[in-house]
Amino acid sequence: MTTHLPLALTVNGEDHHLMVEPRRTLLDLLRHDLGLTGAKKVCNMGNCGACTVMVDGRTVYACLTLAIDCEGREVRTIEGLADGATLDPVQQAFIEEDAFQCGYCTPGQVMSMRALLDENPEPTDDDIVRAVSGNLCRCGAYAHIARAGRRAAELRKQQETEVGA
């Protein structure tokens, strides 16, 4: 019989207490135990970025992260990005720039872009390209994804100005 270990972590602000197999990845925990299917399983070996989520504010490939290594940590997924009905500026920018077609890579792209803007609110084009260079998009929406990065930075700035005023 397989062994299960207790695990406590926060996902999108909610506390979870679970029993998990030590070999379970964070990606499988999210998709199977918590029903959060936004992060996608594409390569399952850290090549494609479709499973990108944030752990304590930093992006990780959830397929390469063991769930038990997230004990006591804060995980944020694509499902936790919008504030109720209000989209995150990155999400809004992806829609405006048509920065996806099939949408399967989009949760990962959005998380990578969001992490970039958290760290660097005024990224250059090179910064944007580097931030999402680990996120494959087979539909080839890259040109629009890069544009969405620039747009998202603008939207965030506008938001801050509005909040400040």
Partner 1 sequence: MTSFSVTTSQKDGKLDLGIEEHAPNVERWDAGTAFTTVGTAARRLEAIEKVTGRAQYSSDVRLPRQTYAKVLRSPYPHAKIVSIDATKAEALPGVVAVIHKDNTDRIEWYDGSAVFDNPVRLIGDEVAAVAAISEEIAEDALNAIEVQYEELPYVTSLEGATSPGAPRARRDSDSEGNISGEVKRYTRGDPDAGLRQADIVIDDIYTTQAAVHNALEPHGCTAAWSGDDLTLWDSTQSIFTVRQDVSKALDMPEHKVRVIKHHMGGGFGAKQIAWKQDVIAALLAKKAGRPVQLMLDREGENLAVGNRPNSRQRVRLGATRDGKLTGIVADIEQANGAYQTGGEASNVSGIYQTLYKCENVRTVQKPLYTNTGPAVAFRAPGQVEGAWALEQAMDDLAIRLNMDPVELRVKNYSETDQSDGDKPLSLPEGLRLAYDKVREAAGWQGRPETAKSGRIRKGVGFAAHDWGAGGGNPPGYAWIELNEDGTADVTTGTQDIGTGTRTGLAQVAAEALGLPLSDVALHLGDTALGPYAPVSSGSATQATIGPAIQAAAADIRDGLLDVAANAMEIAKDRLSVRDGMVLVDGDASRGMSVKKVMQEIAPNTLRAQGARVPNPKDKAIRTFGAQIAEVEVDCETGEITVTSIYASHEIGRVVNPALVESQIIGGITQGLGFALTEERVVDHRLGRVMNPNLEEYKVPTVADIPAIVNVPVDVPDLAANTTGAKGVGEPPLVPAAPAIANAIFNAIGIRFHDAPITRERILEAMANHRSIERARSTTTSQEQSA
Where on the chain is the footprint of partner 1 (CB under 8 A)? Answer: 1-2, 21, 23-24, 28, 31-32, 35-45, 47-48, 50, 77-79, 81-82, 87, 91, 94-96, 98, 100-107, 110, 129-130, 132-146
Least separation, in Å, of the C-beta of 90 and partner 1?
8
Q: Which is nearer to partner 1, 9 or 89 (CB)?
A: 89
> What does the DSSP 8-state code read for residue 76?
E
By C-alpha distance, which of 75, 1, 65 is closest to 34?
75
* DSSP strand pairing (74-76 vs 58-61): unpaired
Whose CA is closest to 93, among 29, 22, 21, 148?
A: 148
Rounded to a whole number of angstroms, the minimum distance from the CB of residue 56 to partner 1 is: 20
Closer residue to partner 1 (CB): 153 or 161: 153
User: Phi, psi at residue 62, to the nearest 5°?
Assistant: -65, -20
**Residue placing its CB nearer to partner 1 in the complex, 74 or 134:** 134
By three-state DSSP, how is residue 86 classified? strand
